[in-house]
Chains A and B, each alone.
Chain A
């Protein structure tokens, strides 16, 4: 090994395993590469990390393991030696609470159900809502980064935050490529088992067949079934 490649790798400890990773790679990539699983929601390979869901949070120490700080692993690029713990009581507590918050706000989204099931949540202590969009931002990044368009973006802030086309009118730069639609976790048919608000069965199985257009009409599709105010403009 010549000296140039040596400079580019950095020694890292993840869950007690010593390894050398490329400089600039993220904790999440490094952990996945060596078989350590970190759950994610808003992350997808090929799109830029967003750091919004925080479910991939891990504990990171930059001082050799003396003090740890919680950080999202998808956005944390490794530039110096660090120690990472991906499965501590604190991290489990954080992920469980985040999963509960997520499924309480969007109980009929498959991904939210999956995550809740993974963390063993059977009862939600918050008031149930029925949002179809979990604001993962995948569609926005898909549109901007992979399709080269900017037909979708976030609008509003706080609880009012939503994905929208500019001025809620279908944008002329939209190529109708369907990239946003294909990536939306909200369009996968959710589990039909929930009957009582606040109860979750925790036995979800991912269905193989995906619908042709988004059934929930979250934002991706512009067909007439879309219940949102996004209307297609006659050209």
Chain B
């Protein structure tokens, strides 16, 4: 790779790459995101490459092993451009068929198309699929069309043009103004105005100044930061470069957890390529501006997403938050120097704002929250995956229009947003707009963007205990309210779930939660009781059913339920008897079967295999 000496060089290179890519008649983008790799897309890629060679198509068809496309449930995903044909659940057996039919003859293979689970209609093109239709993928959309390990791909789609625009005579104050007008707020969960952070870091005394990109995403089930850094690392680098130019920093770090192997590998490749091209390092594009980035791999502690704990971990100390309210990291962060810390998604938004202008960006979203937000939509919905939606969209639209509703048409009970520190929003509030302030108002939070849909078969006490247990293990243990409080909360919730709870314990739980919220040292402890507080607020009847009636309304908590067979519905097929691992079912063929309660371990396998809905929980 030749080092670029000026901004003109970059533009020339861009034209050359676009010209070179015109030689390809078709481009096949195979998803190499974490979800699709788990489905085996890596071996699929190798087999496809081999097959292309055999068909002598290597110079006509370009295979891209791209980043995450978002629709992880349908993986491995393959998109054939320029038509935009969307194939889902592709396996190695389909390769020859795809090459001979679609790539050579131009026919569409019906069996690989995505079928709308609601209407049963088959969709040919990516743009028609309802999952993508309702989204606004300004940040995440580029993922599917580039190879993250190839800087040329990123340059071809207009990459680093925002950097050129900035270096071509934008004043740092002008950039801060642009970010201010765009209304960009921190995507890590706090929602702090990005421009304010940048400005105070720029004005802070001290040299050098550091830039940190926070990719220590640890929420169970959330993976948008990971997918962005895996699928489009140059976008994050470009954002950081613009930030560095604005703040006057020369050194940056990407803090990424070690458990994200492709994220740090791809980011490392991207950094090396950018360095070789002169887009990172000394004298970037011949403008005299210097900035370099290093990758720091974290040990996988959830608390290290907290800014002061992250800084401690970066310095090589134990990942513990420090308690200094009067000093913000922008004044005294890494090695007590001014440090500007932003989330991956925040950095990725920066080049988009600079390219399209603050006015365009601020048109998306609500009064207080601008732009889009990537959520990881999981739980009891038909379409799970990563969705990027404009701020202000209602929860209902996300769950029903994009997610397609619940799989069996059951009623939605609650939606949990914001990861383990967020709260549960009841279904009666499905119409609230999703933005930073509205979610906080109802007792939840935006967080980094986890969104778990729960239906009638979810026990809210069990959900609260799950998150409390997670946080209990992830708490750093420094401060008493968080360490002891979470341990006690877990104990009380376990008591309630096991049927040993009392009404006083519910009160104690509430009292404890309020104290933890006020007294804890860092954000983890302050937000940890959210799941308990919100479920107590909206689903108190479930708690009461557990302690007073000793019943679990959702039929989840094993100690409070019994399985039985409805003799009228049972046909005596014997399926349950054969499948019961504990031999707890008796009965003659074609006669109603009975569950022996002493032997029953409440595993639920009889219920899963019964075709006549004869197994009931009470």
Contact = CB atoms under 8 A, between A and B. Distances in A.
A101 B479 contact: no
Given A70-B518, A98-B481, A157 B303 contact: yes
A158 B518 contact: no
Nearest to A71: B325
Contacts of B481: 54, 97-98, 101
Nearest to B471: A158
A25 B614 CA distance: 71
B326 A158 contact: no
Contact of A94 (B478, B488, B504, B515): B515
A97 B479 contact: no
Contacts of A54: 479-481, 519-521
Contacts of A90: 518
A157 B472 contact: no
Nearest to A134: B480
A224 to B, nearest CB: 29
B491 A105 contact: no
A86 interface: no
A101 B472 contact: no
Most chain B CB inside 10 Å of its own CB: which residue of A75, A97, A159, A161: A97
A37 interface: no
B515 A98 contact: yes
Interface string A79-118: 1000000000010011001100110110000000000000
Contacts of A102: 480, 484
Main secondary structure of the interface of B (DSSP, over half): helix
Given A98-B519, A126-B491, A79 B480 contact: no
A105 B484 contact: yes
Interface of B: 301, 303, 318, 320, 322-327, 472-481, 483-488, 491, 504, 508, 511-512, 514-515, 518-521
Contacts of A153: 318
A97 B476 contact: no
B473 A158 contact: yes
A45 interface: no
A216 interface: no
A160 B477 contact: yes
Nearest to B301: A157
Nearest to B492: A126
A130 B22 CA distance: 73
A70 B325 CA distance: 11
| Chain A interface bracket (under 10, 10 to 19, 20 to 34, 35 or more) | 35 or more
A127 B520 CA distance: 21
Contact of B480 (A71, A98, A126, A158): A98
Contacts of B322: 51
Contacts of A53: 479-480
Max chain B Cβ within 10 angstroms of own Cβ: one of A41, A102, A135 = A135
A119 interface: no
Interface of A: 41, 49-55, 57, 60, 70-72, 75-79, 90, 93-94, 97-98, 101-102, 104-105, 125-127, 135, 153-154, 156-161
A76 B326 contact: yes
Contacts of A158: 472-477, 483, 486
A102 B519 CA distance: 14
A97 B511 contact: yes
Contacts of B324: 75, 77
A52 B521 contact: yes
B504 to A, nearest CB: 7
B512 A97 contact: yes
A159 B519 contact: no
Q: Shortest 10 CB-CB distances between A and B: which pairs? A: A161-B477, A51-B323, A101-B484, A75-B323, A97-B515, A70-B518, A158-B475, A54-B519, A94-B519, A79-B326
Contact of B476 (A41, A76, A79, A157): A157
Contacts of A154: 318, 320, 477
A140 B600 CA distance: 51
A18 B491 CA distance: 45
A71 B325 CA distance: 8
Contacts of A126: 488, 491
A113 to B, nearest CB: 16
A161 B519 CA distance: 20
B518 A159 contact: no
